[in-house]
Amino acid sequence: MTNETNYGTIFGKMAIEQGLCTPAEVKRAVEELESRQKVNPIILKDLMVDLGYVTDSQAQRLCKTLRDSKSANYQIPGYKIIGMLGKGAMAIVYKARQLSLNREVAIKILPKKFMQNPEYVTRFYKEGQAAAKLNHNNIVQAYDVGEAGGYHYFVMEYVKGKTIYDDIAAGKVFSESQALEIVIQVARALNHAHGCGLIHRDVKPKNIMINSDSVVKLADMGLARETSDIEAAKTEAGKAYGTPYYIAPEQIRGEVDIDGRADIYGLGATFYHMVTGRVPFMDEDPSNVMRKHLKEPLIPPDHINSSLSAGVSEVIEIMMAKRKEDRYNDCEELLADLQALSAGQPPTRARQRIDVNMLEQLEEGDEILDDNPYYEEMQLNRYKTAVMVLGIVSGILLLGLIVVVLNS
């Protein structure tokens, strides 16, 4: 699925996002649509109802949402809206033409219902201001931010292409070398952002785009803030904003001093998903996903996809270490290992860290066992066995007592 302003494509994309049908069903419907259209004009919405993938009322509701967003008559001086590109949790992104420079741009518009919430508006402006400070080929360039007709908007570089999420949703499992090529470019983007004092805080497949020249573009500096901005951090303290599948443990704990290593974790979780086809920690309930990020040991990626090299698995495990001290110190260190891997060499920094971490674990011994959820379960089982034995012994004693009393 490409990221075009195509009504059918967006219908399919939103049907998946709203959990109405599976990516495989949309894929099948799109293929079927192509063959059917040769005989009889039909649109994706009707075909999906025909195939029983969505009900008629679900389709009607989805169409209404789409129509409402499309027909919203945004008047932004200097720009002409062309069509809708996508819809996220907080905003709608449109393709538009910047009239003065005659170039295509993407405009993110905050829906009016969010305007009542000053926190959303603040976050929206922060995204623009943070992104405007950055200038890197692998970062979606920010052009303009403002307000018109009661709407707040953010103008940025238009990326003609798709997100990593689109590929994953279509069932793609990336090969090690394909994934490395993408992850290296994101690590370069992050290295630049971190060097400018900005942390992304929401690195995930939906925020990584690939344009038609295969250049990777990191989008959405929406949760970014200056590392020196302690006040902003304090207001955010206690709130975990990111998406639970890729969020770093320290963000879940609402820690104040979030640094670049949180982005390394998010990129590691994205890397994991790309090469295994699975998110690192899965659960229906988001709070359980977060608990697993904090506590549950990671299943090494090469245990899921045996075609992966031990090296790539080690790098991902270090990127996703629970304690930020056990991760790469920064993106430069990470890039050195990623580049070694793509040259077919071992990731020396990851190996050194694994050795040090193992030594530390041996020294800490019992402390590590205490932190291990399996250890907690073991303790619980021991406790249950003790209670059972005690129960049986007391039962026998009681029976004995009854027999003695009856005989006397």
Ligand X SMILES: Nc1ncnc2c1ncn2[C@@H]1O[C@H](COP(=O)(O)OP(=O)(O)OP(=O)(O)O)[C@@H](O)[C@H]1O
Residues of the shown chain interacting with ligand X in the complex, contacts defined by CB under 6 A: 3, 85-91, 93, 106, 108, 140, 156-159, 163, 206-207, 219-220
36 vs 87 by CB, closer to ligand X: 87
**What are the distances in angstroms from CA 289 to CA 120, 169, 251, 284?**
25, 19, 13, 8
Least distance to Mg ion from the beta carbon of 89, Å? 9
Q: In this structure, are residues 32 and 44 in contact, taking their beta carbons and an 8 Å threshold?
A: no
Q: Which stretch binds Mg ion (CB under 5 A): 140-148, 218-226, 266-274, 323-331?
A: 218-226
Pattern of binders to Mg ion over 253-282, x per CB under 5 A?
Answer: ------------------------------
Q: In this structure, are residues 182 and 210 in contact, taking their beta carbons and an 8 Å threshold?
A: yes
DSSP 8-state class, residue 326:
G
With vertex at residue 240, the alpha carbon angle to CA 239 and CA 244, rounded to the nearest 5 degrees, is: 160
- Kindly give the interhelix angle for 348-364 and 331-342, rounded to the nearest 10 degrees: 120
Find the catalytic residue in 202, 220, 263, 302.
202
Least distance to Mg ion from the beta carbon of 88, Å? 5
Distance CA 398, CA 388 (A): 15
26 vs 315 by CB, closer to ligand X: 26
Q: Which stretch binds Mg ion (CB under 5 A): 61-69, 204-212, 340-348, 362-370?
A: 204-212
- Greatest CA separation for the chain: 109
Q: In this structure, are residues 152 and 121 in contact, taking their beta carbons and an 8 Å threshold?
A: yes
Least distance to Mg ion from the beta carbon of 334, Å? 22
220 vs 263 by CB, closer to Mg ion: 220
Distance CA 161, CA 142 (A): 18
The answer to the question of residue 157 lying near Mg ion (CB under 5 A) is no
246 vs 328 by CB, closer to ligand X: 246
48's contact among ligand X, Mg ion, none, with CB below 5 to 8 A by partner kind, is none
Using the structure block, give the residue that is written with the tokens 């207001």.
235
CA 245 to chain centre: 6
Distance CA 316, CA 327 (A): 10
343's contact among Mg ion, ligand X, none, with CB below 5 to 8 A by partner kind, is none
**Is residue 214 packed enough to be buried (19+ CB in 10 Å), middle (13-18) or exposed (0-12)?**
exposed
126 vs 349 by CB, closer to ligand X: 126
Least distance to Mg ion from the beta carbon of 336, Å? 29
158's contact among ligand X, Mg ion, none, with CB below 5 to 8 A by partner kind, is ligand X
Choice from 207, 243, 270, 276 touching Mg ion (CB under 5 A):
207
| Closest residue to ligand X, based on beta-carbon distance | 88
159's contact among ligand X, Mg ion, none, with CB below 5 to 8 A by partner kind, is ligand X
Q: Which stretch binds Mg ion (CB under 5 A): 214-222, 226-234, 332-340, 358-366?
A: 214-222
- Single-letter residue type at 255: E
Kindly give, in sequence order, each residue whose CB lies less than 8 Å from that of residue 94, ignoring residues fewer than 6 positions away: 74, 81, 82, 83, 84, 85, 106, 107, 108, 109
246's contact among Mg ion, ligand X, none, with CB below 5 to 8 A by partner kind, is none
314's contact among Mg ion, ligand X, none, with CB below 5 to 8 A by partner kind, is none
Least distance to Mg ion from the beta carbon of 245, Å? 14
Catalytic, 46? Answer: no
Give residue 344's region: left, alpha or beta (phi > 0; psi -120 to 50).
left
Segment 172-191, which members bind Mg ion (CB under 5 A)? Answer: none
163's contact among ligand X, Mg ion, none, with CB below 5 to 8 A by partner kind, is ligand X
Least distance to Mg ion from the beta carbon of 202, Å? 8
Least distance to ligand X from the beta carbon of 44, Å? 17
Given 3-state DSSP classes, what are the helix, strand and coil percentages for the chain, each rounded to the nearest 5?
55, 15, 35
- Single-letter residue type at 20: L
88 vs 300 by CB, closer to ligand X: 88
| Closest residue to Mg ion, based on beta-carbon distance | 220
Number of other residues whose CB lies within 10 A of the CB of residue 328:
25
Task: Report the candidate in 108, 209, 217 with the shortest Cα–Cα distance to residue 167.
Answer: 209
- Interface ranges with Mg ion (CB under 5 A): 207, 220
Q: Active-site residue numbers?
A: 202
